[in-house]
Structure 1
């Protein structure tokens, strides 16, 4: 996968990730207690779908592009689409077409309350520079041009005693699945009650299975959400991805179950597309 997320902004994997992330934020900010939000691989914050990177791949057209006028979407999907439209409207109107897409930092920002703390990490120099420009002058956001895995150790446990962490690495390195599992294990040792959202690509089934097994052994409660555009998976290209949620808040699974099934039908390549939700650990009785 190409590290520069602009090539993939708004694609089917972003849809799944941001639908889940927005619902986590909504539920976590419903309580009147301060919250740390940590994004370990924040990217550049927002993306120009008319720019060179997004235009080269056009992936967004088969992702968010399919949902803009989709009828009868579940509530969590409707909220996500509205969040995308709201971000796009900041830049003006574009003859009815979507032009700008919010990355996870821009999904996060409108839900932050006074007293909440948001730390965005990005190690890639060019992406970090864009992220800094995106949030220039915004005192509610702390930017760190640094390794997100190191930030987990530095910032956890948070003084707020409540934390929501997004771990969304590019999976360019061959040992990324192992690095993610180690980072999550260390984070849980430091802050066992935090809510962690881990995005992963599903290309190497063995690596994904090993990650799921590691999480099941580590976490008291963990939920796995997967979206596959076709079954069996084609050998080329990214056609499936997932999210592992550790310590999901109450009602999160109930909201996401119908949404993931609906997304499979809306975004899938054929009737074999699947959206699944399964408990890796701590399934409700």
Structure 2
């Protein structure tokens, strides 16, 4: 379908959760000297103008990164993520928001590699322009799920694979499970991070059940909801499912989520959770 444009949603509460988890995983991978691969299956445009037509039309960032940006008691777990946002916003204001490729670009080292895939005809040229001078990056306008077959395992045998599809179709919830299964079969030691929206709780329950059925161990689920579950149209929250999470990630998110919930959801609705879909 390819009608989804992340520029309408950049910097919202779901991005804050997703990019915080992404940043913590990358930081953990950097604790070892050996280089690693960052593979992004649905990379988007890379950079988003928060004063642009799309972001201004929805204003979602005002209830996301804008609220975090205003705080002066940022927990240390947010430091890697916020450093990426600051790198795009040299002044006091908040003009740009970095998508997951720019988060990775800022945090990765010289010897680390980026594989970025985007299929949208409008977003791919923007992504290509953003990375044309970065020798670490390889870009492809292709099906992101195919990259899980074509690019894994990396020569370094270390890596983070971020799977962040638009969920334009209900079948995406099954496609992500198949994608993780395919990738894990080739690269069982890799870290796979899957973002998902909570629109209908039953869809998430089925996806989790399908993940359990794969037999893959060490799958962590992290969720931040801004409203109670509903059967009405609209996203009430989002989550990250992480296969082979770094050992500190569970406790980091248990410590951080209450703060994020308080800042992002002043009304106190919704919930946060950190739990294992499958343990060791």
If the length of structure 2 is used for normalisation, what is the TM-score? 0.95
| Equivalent residue, structure 2, for 1:268 | 265
| Equivalent residue, structure 2, for 1:213 | 209
| Equivalent residue, structure 2, for 1:57 | 58
193-202 or 136-145, larger mean C-alpha shift: 136-145
Superimposed CA distance per residue, residues 171-204 of structure 1 (whole angstroms, 9 cap, x where no aligned partner): 0022100111111111111111110000000112
Taking the aligned partners of 1:277 and 1:133, their CA distance within structure 2 comes to 37
| Equivalent residue, structure 2, for 1:257 | 254
Taking the aligned partners of 1:71 and 1:234, their CA distance within structure 2 comes to 37
1:118-197 correspondence runs (5 A): 118-197=114-193
270-279 or 122-131, larger mean C-alpha shift: 270-279
Residue 46 of structure 1 deviates from its aligned partner by 0.7
Q: How many residues align?
A: 278
State which of 218, 223, 238 in structure 1 corresponds to 2:220: 223
Superimposed CA distance per residue, residues 148-170 of structure 1 (whole angstroms, 9 cap, x where no aligned partner): 10000001111111111000000
If the length of structure 1 is used for normalisation, what is the TM-score? 0.93
Q: Does 1:67 align with 2:68?
A: yes
Residue 269 of structure 1 deviates from its aligned partner by 5.1
175-184 or 256-265, larger mean C-alpha shift: 256-265
State which of 67, 91, 97 in structure 1 corresponds to 2:93: 97
Residue 237 of structure 1 deviates from its aligned partner by 2.2
| Equivalent residue, structure 2, for 1:39 | 40
User: Partner of 1:84: helix, strand, or coil?
Assistant: helix
| Equivalent residue, structure 1, for 2:77 | 76
| Equivalent residue, structure 2, for 1:110 | 106
67-76 or 112-121, larger mean C-alpha shift: 67-76
Superimposed CA distance per residue, residues 9-32 of structure 1 (whole angstroms, 9 cap, x where no aligned partner): 000000000000000000011111
Point out where structure 1 has 5 or more consecutive residues left out of the alignment.
none
User: Partner of 1:280: helix, strand, or coil?
Assistant: strand
Taking the aligned partners of 1:234 and 1:181, their CA distance within structure 2 comes to 23
**1:41–1:21 distance in 2 versus 1, CA, 3 Å:** same
Residue 232 of structure 1 deviates from its aligned partner by 4.2
Residue 255 of structure 1 deviates from its aligned partner by 0.9
**1:234–1:82 distance in 2 versus 1, CA, 3 Å:** farther
Point out where structure 2 has 5 or more consecutive residues left out of the alignment.
none
Q: Is 1:261–1:276's contact at 8 Å kept on the other side of the alignment? A: no
Residue 98 of structure 1 deviates from its aligned partner by 0.5
User: Partner of 1:125: helix, strand, or coil?
Assistant: coil
User: Partner of 1:146: helix, strand, or coil?
Assistant: coil
Superimposed CA distance per residue, residues 42-67 of structure 1 (whole angstroms, 9 cap, x where no aligned partner): 00011000111111111001000001
Taking the aligned partners of 1:22 and 1:233, their CA distance within structure 2 comes to 30
User: Partner of 1:223: helix, strand, or coil?
Assistant: strand
**1:138–1:79 distance in 2 versus 1, CA, 3 Å:** closer
Runs (4+) of structure 1 moved beyond 6 Å?
Answer: none
1:13-28 correspondence runs (5 A): 13-28=14-29
Q: Is 2:84–2:107's contact at 8 Å kept on the other side of the alignment? A: no
- What is the root-mean-square deviation in Å for CA atoms of aligned residues? 1.6
Q: Is 2:25–2:246's contact at 8 Å kept on the other side of the alignment? A: yes
Residue 2 of structure 1 deviates from its aligned partner by 5.9
Taking the aligned partners of 2:3 and 2:71, their CA distance within structure 1 comes to 29
